[in-house]
Amino acid sequence: MDLATFGGGCFWHVEESFRKLKGVISTSAGYMGGKTKDPTYDDVCSNLTGHAEVVQIKYDPDMITYKDLLKIFWDIHNPCEVDRQGADEGTQYRSVIFYHTSAQKKEAELSKSKIKNAVTEIKKSSRFYKAEEYHQKYVMKHKMCKCFI
């Protein structure tokens, strides 16, 4: 199994977009890329920790490729908005790809180069902090409208 980590606005939407894909083994909403140890949702929302809301995806590369995951990532958010997605605003909502291998970095950079005006950050993965349980599979648990997915 391989890992992929993406931030594209509120992690609820991002997680739901990947959760049911064939080849995706599991998804976890969480935080990455900041300086605060063991951040909480409130900490991250303060815009002081440097963390982004992300989804970490465990997937089977024989069933779905990293390139396929990147295509979905680009399709589900606006990679040209700085520190926001729609009504959600703040550094935690930035567009970011955290790569886990040099091959992922190369693939992410290549895919970004094809998107005009993309402000998406591409960074080496760092420690992943799983978000509070009430954030996990939020859209599914609350039977929210899936029309935006």
DSSP 78: -
Question: Looking at the annotation, which residues are catalytic?
Answer: 10
Q: In the chain, what are the domains?
A: 2-141 (3.30.1060.10)
Q: What is the pLDDT of residues 90-111, one digit of tens each?
A: 999 999 999 999 999 999 999 9
Place of tokens 């959600």: 88
Question: Cα separation of 2 and 21, whole Å?
Answer: 15
101 token code pair: 């291998």
19 near 117, Cβ under 8 Å?
no
Question: Cα separation of 138 and 35, whole Å?
Answer: 26
In this model, does residue 142 exceed pLDDT 90? no
Give the closest residue to 93 by CA, choosing from 132, 53, 123.
53
Q: What is the pLDDT of residues 37-89, one digit of tens each?
A: 999 999 999 999 999 999 999 999 999 999 999 999 999 999 999 999 988 99
Place of tokens 């069933």: 63
Amino acid at 43: D
By CB neighbour count within 10 A (0-12 exposed, 13-18 middle, 19+ buried), where does 108 fall?
A: buried
> Which strand (E) or helix (H) includes residue 95?
strand 95-99
Confidence of residue 144 (pLDDT cuts 50, 70, 90): low
125 token code pair: 């993965």
